[in-house]
A and B are shown apart, each in its own frame.
Chain A
Amino acid sequence: MTLLDVRDLRVAYRNPSTGAQAIAVDGVSFKVEKGETLGIVGESGCGKSTLARALMAYCRPGGEVVGGEVLFDGTDVLRLSDEGIRELRGRRMAMVPQDPLTSLTYHMKVGPQVDEILQIHQQLDAAAARLHTLKLFEGTNLPEPEDIYGRYPHENSGGQRQRVVIAGALACQPDLLILDEPTTALDTTTEMQVLKLVKELRDRLGMALVYITHDLTLTDYMCENVLVMLDGKVAERGTASRIFTAPETEYGKMLVSSIPRLDSAPPPAAATPRPEAEKPAEPLLAVERLSFRYRQRWSLAALFEPKDLPLAVDDVSFELRPGETLGLVGESGSGKSTLANIIVGLLAPTSGNITFDGTPINEIDKHRSAELRRRIQIVFQDPLSSLNPRRRVETILTRPQEIFFGVRGQAARDRAVELLEDMELSADLMRRFPRQLSGGQQQRVAIARAFAANPDLILCDEITSALDVSVQAHVLKLLKGIQQKTGAACLFISHDLGVVKQVADDTVVLKDGRVVEAGVTHAVFDKPSHDYTRLLLAAASRREDYAELQMSTHPGRQAGTHQSPEGYSC
């Protein structure tokens, strides 16, 4: 029986100063049966979140439904009175948004936030609501519900917070649950836990799900049917397995082919066999028994009450040879970004040695020579914040040349244009500000800036995690190109195993600051020797046996007291 019937839905945003309308959702129609899961996939800006909100008759400021109908169990949601829509929301249809931290109220304990829903919609009294909330927490596999009930949102880990939000959404046993990128803010293993839970709950409660994501592989895991959206329109629809294996439209094919696969054959460039004889004796970068502990910030309180923070990097060693790429893999909080910050000199190691081209470089950037700083460059995770919003692309690309080579004026501008061309960007962008570029363009400018210094080693700290898959594939290709052209070595840090498999010659797997596995990339991926690596691989390929591995490697998480030290990651 059809639960949700969307007919020719159109949503537009109006620009408040010019009055111009931009269509965000353009004539979308679909049906969701009771108990069915429909996936809506698309890249950022395709209108999928706007669509999700419109299903509950919400719009973001400036947004407006300009046509179509949303029939929920036969009633048009868009034509209901405020009273009528309040009856539906929370009770019969509920939504789980992307960021669990912003959807919970900071200053309220999480338990009472769920109680409130029950008190309003089910007219339960305080004591009954509390009991019901605890039951919901139990049902969402939250460990020690009593304990969680009395915690504030920030005292829970990201996965726990999202489970609290899901518990709230399920409070009134809705018929339809809308999930808008519910796991994008979580790391892969936590993501799989949450999704597995959602699947179980769906089967137990017989809900219908509308699952919105940018990640096509997740729809394959979660959904029966999938809608691919492009520019507000439905580009392709079909069963999840069909779209994942045999997309029909150009866009669908492009999306599927951009996914970094674990099961695909490694691209030839990555697998270039290294003849033993040619191996240079001297590694470009050698990290030996490196450890790092964050120190407390200088403050009067810290003088009186010194606290010992845990080791963020614990006895890590690896080597990187000239021109090669080393992948550094791990979840958030595994110490991989800290490691990058130590190598570029933003942090000084607590103990251990880093050797670069034969010389020790344990000191921080201030004490390093300009030449050394030039030879090691870094590209950061968030492309927008890594470019000064008040500087034009031209200044961003010429400034390093001025500092490192004393080149300025026309010569520097010519080189900047050349760098843009290496990144397949047009010279027209020179006069733009970072804000006027797309995310992919920003990251390409950031890479160009790093290469403006002609580095011997480039550190890429999660450079693709903020990008859409198709953009990600392009950026990786360009990085590879310029790396081959200049012969720079690359330390590629990522939580995404698919990406690492694509680019890295060797791979090091980090967990809680320690190396758990290291070796040639295909060996690590094909024959992982450590359970944690197997867990990461399973999570990355959305495998079912993931749950058992979870138990063996993360006993703390299941027991509930574990909280990832997010505050310490950099």
Chain B
Amino acid sequence: MLVNDKPLLSIVTHSPGTAIGVALVSLHLLNAVFAPLLIPYGPTQLVGAPVLAPGHPDFLLGTDVIGRDYLSRLMMGGRTSITVAMIGVLGAVLLGTFFAVSAAHIGGFYDDVVMRIVDTKLSIPGILFVALFVVGFGRSVTVLTIVIGLSYFPGAVRTIRAQAMTQVPLAYVKAARLRGESALSVIFRELTPNVIEVVVVEFAIRTSSAILIVSALSFLGLGISPPTPDWGLMVSEGVDQIYTAPWLILLPAAFISTLVVGLNFASDGLANALGLDAARGLHGG
């Protein structure tokens, strides 16, 4: 696969940070996909004595406060939050692309309306908005996905519109208009392909922050409901044992942070590789 005439692999090996990021993210994704086949015990099954320390012969990472296998719960604990974060952000970015590009292309009153709505949303503190929404509409994976989507939509519109605005005045857009291409055709065929780098990077960066938000909500008891294994939830369940069994918090926290750090490194590398090339592409070098 080629990105901007460069093999995808060269983006991965762009810098050590990127390589580490991509490796971490790949491990997490592989684990999330194949965990059901690999886990030694069911994640919600009571299989041993509570709070066994890691290194136990039957339970590699010990057991939790009610005696469920901690390794199985950790391996399964990212699936829900990753899915919620990715689908929510994907929705935000796809819808955001449409509104951003159309606002940039059509301009005038429509642009103002879209951007003022975006500004309004951006002026509400993120976590407050999410918490109120969940309290109002109930705690479910669907509500969580929608609220993530709504939270990241305005930022996506802002960023993507800025990129689209650099393209709108270019002569190829004028040429398309003069051929009589419809507004939708200009938006989808001419402009969208030229903002795609920003869309991809926006998706990668926002997903990592969405995972943090979902984990935080679960920790506060507003996100994923027990007994579903979830890292944020596991941290909050372990809080009482923080002095006696710190690994109950440290292990899920380590899973969250490796994934988030990995995503940040990877998206930084992606942005670098794509951003540099996008700029060069326009100036013909």
Q: Chain A interface (Cβ within 8 Å of chain B)?
A: 17, 298-299, 344-346, 365, 370, 373, 377-378, 380-382, 384-391, 399-400, 403-404, 433, 435-436, 439, 449, 453
If the complex has contacts A390-B194, A435-B284, A439-B284, are A382 and B171 also in contact, measured as CB distance less than 8 A?
yes
CA distance A17 to B5 in the complex (A): 12
In the assembled complex, which residues on chain A have CB atoms less than 8 Å from the CB atom of B109? 298
Interface pick from B177-185, B230-238, B242-250, B260-268: B177-185
In the assembled complex, which residues on chain A have CB atoms less than 8 Å from the CB atom of B196? 390
In the assembled complex, which residues on chain B have CB atoms less than 8 Å from the CB atom of A400? 179
In the assembled complex, which residues on chain A have CB atoms less than 8 Å from the CB atom of B34? none
Nearest CB in chain A to that of B181: its residue = A403
Partner of B178, one of A378, A381, A435: A378
Tell whether, in the assembled complex, residue B10 and residue A385 are in contact, meaning their CB atoms are under 8 Å apart: no
CA distance A378 to B171 in the complex (A): 10
Q: Is B57 part of the contact surface with A, judged by Cβ < 8 Å?
A: no
Tell whether, in the assembled complex, residue A389 and residue B194 are in contact, meaning their CB atoms are under 8 Å apart: yes
In the assembled complex, which residues on chain A have CB atoms less than 8 Å from the CB atom of B175? 378, 380, 386, 449
Nearest CB in chain B to that of A365: its residue = B178
Tell whether, in the assembled complex, residue B108 and residue A298 are in contact, meaning their CB atoms are under 8 Å apart: yes
15 pairs across A/B with beta carbons < 8 Å? Answer: A17-B10, A298-B109, A346-B177, A378-B175, A380-B171, A384-B282, A385-B170, A385-B282, A386-B174, A388-B190, A388-B193, A388-B194, A389-B282, A390-B196, A449-B175
Q: Which of B148-175 contact A (CB under 8 A)?
A: 170-172, 174-175
In the assembled complex, which residues on chain A have CB atoms less than 8 Å from the CB atom of B194? 388-390
Q: Which of B261-282 contact A (CB under 8 A)?
A: 281-282
Report which residue of B171, B174, B180 has the largest number of chain A beta carbons within 10 angstroms of its beta carbon.
B171
Q: Chain B interface (Cβ within 8 Å of chain A)?
A: 5-6, 10, 107-109, 112, 170-172, 174-181, 190, 193-194, 196, 281-284
Tell whether, in the assembled complex, residue B180 and residue A365 are in contact, meaning their CB atoms are under 8 Å apart: yes
Chain B nearest Cβ from A451, distance in angstroms: 13
Given contacts A346-B174, A385-B171, 11 further A-B contacts (CB under 8 A): A298-B107, A346-B178, A365-B177, A377-B178, A378-B175, A382-B171, A384-B283, A385-B170, A386-B172, A388-B190, A388-B194
Tell whether, in the assembled complex, residue A386 and residue B10 are in contact, meaning their CB atoms are under 8 Å apart: no
In the assembled complex, which residues on chain B have CB atoms less than 8 Å from the CB atom of A377? 178
In the assembled complex, which residues on chain B have CB atoms less than 8 Å from the CB atom of A436? 5
Tell whether, in the assembled complex, residue A403 and residue B179 are in contact, meaning their CB atoms are under 8 Å apart: yes
CA distance A435 to B285 in the complex (A): 8
CA distance A388 to B174 in the complex (A): 11
In the assembled complex, which residues on chain A have CB atoms less than 8 Å from the CB atom of B190? 388
In the assembled complex, which residues on chain A have CB atoms less than 8 Å from the CB atom of B107? 298
Partner of B284, one of A365, A373, A384, A386: A384
Nearest CB in chain A to that of B169: its residue = A385
In the assembled complex, which residues on chain A have CB atoms less than 8 Å from the CB atom of B282? 384-385, 389
Tell whether, in the assembled complex, residue B6 and residue A389 are in contact, meaning their CB atoms are under 8 Å apart: no
Nearest CB in chain B to that of A384: its residue = B284
CA distance A346 to B180 in the complex (A): 12
Chain B nearest Cβ from A77, distance in angstroms: 27
Tell whether, in the assembled complex, residue B179 and residue A399 are in contact, meaning their CB atoms are under 8 Å apart: yes
Tell whether, in the assembled complex, residue B179 and residue A373 are in contact, meaning their CB atoms are under 8 Å apart: yes
* 3 residue pairs, one from A and one from B, having the closest CB atoms: A386-B171, A390-B193, A380-B171
Report which residue of A345, A365, A381 has the largest number of chain B beta carbons within 10 angstroms of its beta carbon.
A365
In the assembled complex, which residues on chain A have CB atoms less than 8 Å from the CB atom of B174? 346, 380, 386
Nearest CB in chain B to that of A373: its residue = B180
Nearest CB in chain A to that of B177: its residue = A365
CA distance A500 to B261 in the complex (A): 60
Tell whether, in the assembled complex, residue B172 and residue A388 are in contact, meaning their CB atoms are under 8 Å apart: yes
CA distance A385 to B172 in the complex (A): 6
CA distance A377 to B177 in the complex (A): 12
Partner of A370, one of B6, B172, B180: B180
Nearest CB in chain A to that of B173: its residue = A388
CA distance A447 to B108 in the complex (A): 32
CA distance A433 to B178 in the complex (A): 21
Nearest CB in chain B to that of A381: its residue = B171
CA distance A399 to B172 in the complex (A): 13
CA distance A87 to B108 in the complex (A): 54
Nearest CB in chain A to that of B284: its residue = A384
Chain B nearest Cβ from A237, distance in angstroms: 29
CA distance A387 to B190 in the complex (A): 10
Chain B nearest Cβ from A205, distance in angstroms: 36
In the assembled complex, which residues on chain B have CB atoms less than 8 Å from the CB atom of A404? 179
Nearest CB in chain A to that of B196: its residue = A390
In the assembled complex, which residues on chain B have CB atoms less than 8 Å from the CB atom of A373? 178-180
If the complex has contacts A17-B10, A388-B194, are A344 and B171 also in contact, measured as CB distance less than 8 A?
no
In the assembled complex, which residues on chain A have CB atoms less than 8 Å from the CB atom of B178? 344-346, 365, 373, 377-378
Nearest CB in chain A to that of B193: its residue = A390
In the assembled complex, which residues on chain B have CB atoms less than 8 Å from the CB atom of A386? 170-172, 174-175
Nearest CB in chain A to that of B11: its residue = A17
In the assembled complex, which residues on chain B have CB atoms less than 8 Å from the CB atom of A435? 5, 281, 284
CA distance A436 to B177 in the complex (A): 24
Chain B nearest Cβ from A563, distance in angstroms: 22
In the assembled complex, which residues on chain B have CB atoms less than 8 Å from the CB atom of A388? 172, 176, 190, 193-194
In the assembled complex, which residues on chain B have CB atoms less than 8 Å from the CB atom of A365? 177-178, 180
In the assembled complex, which residues on chain A have CB atoms less than 8 Å from the CB atom of B10? 17
CA distance A277 to B171 in the complex (A): 41
In the assembled complex, which residues on chain A have CB atoms less than 8 Å from the CB atom of B281? 389, 435
In the assembled complex, which residues on chain B have CB atoms less than 8 Å from the CB atom of A17? 6, 10
Chain B nearest Cβ from A159, distance in angstroms: 24
Chain A nearest Cβ from B15, distance in angstroms: 11
Chain A nearest Cβ from B266, distance in angstroms: 18
Chain B nearest Cβ from A367, distance in angstroms: 11
Chain A nearest Cβ from B117, distance in angstroms: 16
CA distance A390 to B197 in the complex (A): 12
Report which residue of A345, A388, A403 has the largest number of chain B beta carbons within 10 angstroms of its beta carbon.
A388
In the assembled complex, which residues on chain B have CB atoms less than 8 Å from the CB atom of A345? 178
Chain A nearest Cβ from B159, distance in angstroms: 19
Chain A nearest Cβ from B138, distance in angstroms: 40
In the assembled complex, which residues on chain B have CB atoms less than 8 Å from the CB atom of A403? 179-181
CA distance A385 to B194 in the complex (A): 12
CA distance A449 to B171 in the complex (A): 13
In the assembled complex, which residues on chain B have CB atoms less than 8 Å from the CB atom of A390? 193-194, 196
In the assembled complex, which residues on chain A have CB atoms less than 8 Å from the CB atom of B6? 17
In the assembled complex, which residues on chain A have CB atoms less than 8 Å from the CB atom of B172? 385-389
Chain A nearest Cβ from B128, distance in angstroms: 29
Chain A nearest Cβ from B114, distance in angstroms: 14
Nearest CB in chain B to that of A18: its residue = B10
CA distance A449 to B178 in the complex (A): 12
In the assembled complex, which residues on chain A have CB atoms less than 8 Å from the CB atom of B179? 373, 399-400, 403-404, 453
Chain A nearest Cβ from B253, distance in angstroms: 37
CA distance A435 to B176 in the complex (A): 18
CA distance A214 to B175 in the complex (A): 30
In the assembled complex, which residues on chain B have CB atoms less than 8 Å from the CB atom of A380? 171, 174-175
Nearest CB in chain B to that of A399: its residue = B179
CA distance A399 to B283 in the complex (A): 24
Nearest CB in chain B to that of A378: its residue = B178
